[in-house]
Structure 1
Amino acid sequence: MTHRDARRRFLTASGGLATLALAGCLGDGGTGDQGGMDDGSGMDGDGAMNGDGGADDDEGMDGDGGTDDDETGDDGMAESATVRVRIENVASPDFYPAETPTDGAVWITPGAYAVHEGENPVYELGESASIGLEALAEAGPPTGFEGADGLVDELEASSVVAHSGVYAPADTVADPNDPTGEVPGAPPIAPGGAFEFEVDVSPGHRLSFASMFVPSNDVFVSTEEAGIVLWPEDGDPVDGDVTDAAALFDAGTEPNAEPPGKGPDQAPAQEAPDQGADEGGVVRRLREVDDGHEYPAVGDVVQVTVTPT
C-alpha cells in the first residue's frame, strides 16, 4: 500500500470526520464553538447575523457609534481577546521503518479543543477514558464512533468549558502530503503539516486539545492536566511557544500488542474504527507505559504556539 493510499484509507476509516469537514459543517473551520453552523449566508445557528453578514445581537456599539470587538471592564482594560493556536507536526518523516503504513512517518489527526477553567477536561489520569476519547485515540475522529457522542460533544457538555470545537481539514494551513487536493489538507497531517484555529479568551482561561498519534493502538497527544494558560489572571494573553504544556498519553482502551506501524488493529491499517481487543485500562502518560515500544518525545512530534491576533 502506498503512502497516498494509506492516507485515503484513513479518510475512509474516519468517514464521519471527513464528511463533517467536506460538508462545511464547521463553518470557517474549527474556529467556532458548537453553538451553531455558518452556512455561508451570513446567518449563524440561532438566526442572528454573524461576522460575515452583519452585527450579532450580542455585539455592542462603542461610544463613537462603531463596533467594539473586545468587552471592557470598569477600568477600560480589555476583558476578552482572540488568540490563534497553531499545532504543527514536527516529527521526523522516517522515525519508524519505511514499511509501515505511514512510510515511517508520524501523523497527527484533526482533534477537539476546549477553552476552560480548572484542569484539562479531556481526560482524568488514572481513570477510564470516555467513549469520545476512546474513538479519537483508537481511530482519530473527534466526532466519535457512529451512533455515539464524540469527544467534542463531551467537551461541549462539560461545566468547566467556556467553549469548544474541532480543528478539522479546513483548518490545515500546511500539509506537504495532501493526497486528495479536495480540501486544504486531508486528515491526518504528515510532518510539515499544521492546523491553525482561533479562540476567544478571557483572563483565567486555559486551553486543552487532543489528537490521535498515528500509527498506534490508542496513543494521543494532549495537554498536561493543567492545560495551557492562555491568559494569566495577573498578566496579558500568552504569546509564544507552549509545547512544554503538551504530552503523549495512552488511553488504556486497546492493548499496545505490537510496535507502532506493525499491528493490524492500528490506524491506518485497521479495517474498522473500533477494531481490536478491549484493554480495560486507564489513561496514563505514555512515558509511564512499559510496552517495550519506541515513541518520540512530544517535542519531537508537535510544536504548539499561541499568538494574540
Structure 2
Amino acid sequence: MELWNITLENTFFLIGILQDSKYPGLICAIITCLYLVAVICNGLLLLLIAMDKRLHVPMYFLLSQLSLMDLLFTTVISPKTFVDYLSGQNTISFSGCGFQIFLVLIIGGSEDILLAFMSYDRYVAIQHPLNYMVIMRPKVCWSMVATTWLVASMNALVHTIYTMHYPFCKNRKIRHLLCEIPPVLKLACANTTKYQFMVYTMDVAFVLIPLSAILASYALVLAAVFHMPSKQGRQKALLTCSSHLTVVGLYYGNVLLIYVLPSAYHSPQQDNIFSVFYTIITPALNPLIYCLRNKDVLGALKKLLGNGASVPEL
C-alpha cells in the first residue's frame, strides 16, 4: 500500500457537519454568528476585567483566562469552517492538521484543569472568606494558570508528535469537524490499537480527575452554603456557584460523551454535533452565563459605556 505522508504537502479532507448536513449554508451561517458572539462577548469580558479595578480579584482573573481559552478554542475551528464553505474546499494540510491537533489538545486540556481551579477558588471564597485574598494571592493564581498551560502543552506535544509519525494511506477523509487524534488514527496504515488505548486512558484522566475535583469542591461548598445564617449570603453564593456549575455541565457533558463514552456508543455524525457544542456553542455561551446576572460585571459595563440606563440589571 502506497504511503503518502512523506512530504508535508499532502492533504486531508475534513468531512464535518457541513458535509453531512442537508443545509450546509444555514449551518455555516449559524456557526459564523456563534463565532462572532463568542469573539465579542469574550473580548468584551477580557476588556472589562482588565480595565475595571473592582474586577481585579482572583475569581475574575481566572474567569479572564477561561474567556481567553474560549476565544482561542473557537478561533481554531470556526474561521476555517467558514472559509472552507465559501471556497468550496474542505482540505487541510498534513502540517496544518498536526498543528490543529496540538492547539485543540492544549486549549481543551487547559480548560479542563482551569475549571477545577475555578471550583477551588469558589471553595476558598465560601469556606475561608476572611483569608480568601491571602490564600488566592496573585502568585498562587499565576501558578494555577501556568500549571494549566504547562501540563496541557506537554500532553499535547507528546500526543501530536506520536500521532503524526504514523504512515497514512491514500484514504484521506477525516469524518470529523476538525483534526483530532481518534479520527486521524483511523487513516493510519499501521496497528494503532495500543496507542488508541493510551490516548483513551489519557483522555479519561484529563476529564475525570478535574471533574472529580470540581464535584468534591462543590460538595463542600454546598454544605457550607446551607449552613450560612444569612439568606442573602446564601443566595449570592448559590448564584455565583450556579453559573460555574452550568459552564461545567455544558463543557464536560459534551466532552464525556466524546472522549469517555466508548466509541461503540456514538457515531462520527454524533461526534461532529458534540464537537460543535464544546468548540463553538459553549465558548459563545460561557461569558453570557457568567455575566448576565453578575452585578460587578454589569457595573463595569455601565461604566465603560458611560450610560448606566442602557444596561438594565437582571
Which bracket does the TM-score occupy, shorter chain normalised? under 0.3
Higher strand residue share: 1
TM-score, scaled to structure 1 = 0.26
Larger RCO (CA within 8 A; separation ≥ 6): 2
